[in-house]
Amino acid sequence: MAGAGTTVDLAAMRGKLVLVDFWASWCEPCRRELPELEALYKRHQASGLELVGVSMDEARGDAEAFLRDVPVSFPMIFDEGQALAKSWSPPKMPTLYVVDKDGKIVKVIAGEVKVAELEAEVTQRLGGG
């Protein structure tokens, strides 16, 4: 898990569809959602999907323990000092942002994502239907 001072360069991901997921280890919906996001990521990564997780935990160890139980292959950032949260302002846990290929936030999903709806959104935005 990347830590303080690590940045996710959305500009470097321009041209790809990016999902930014704010989560926390104490969040039960996050525990259900992360494996589903991992599966979605694996299905669409080759088509240009990027996914970045942002841990809102106060203690890095809590996030790391959670990820041992719920492993994912996409990049995870520990938001030390809540700097990313302050700039993105997620309204609740979890919150998922859909960032289009031009780098614009086109959708904010506050609360547990409905994976079938997200799958349709991702497929459409990647040009697959």
Q: What is the pLDDT of residues 28-64, one digit of tens each?
A: 999 999 999 999 999 999 999 999 999 999 999 999 9
Q: How much is the pLDDT for 12? A: 82
Measured from the Cβ of residue 112, the count of other Cβ atoms closer than 10 Å reads 17
How many Å apart are CA 68 and CA 66, to the nearest integer?
5
Mean pLDDT, residues 80-103 taken together = 92
Q: How much is the pLDDT for 129? A: 54
Q: How much is the pLDDT for 8? A: 64
For residue 128, pLDDT over 80 is answered with: no
Token pair 């790809």 in the structure block, residue: 16
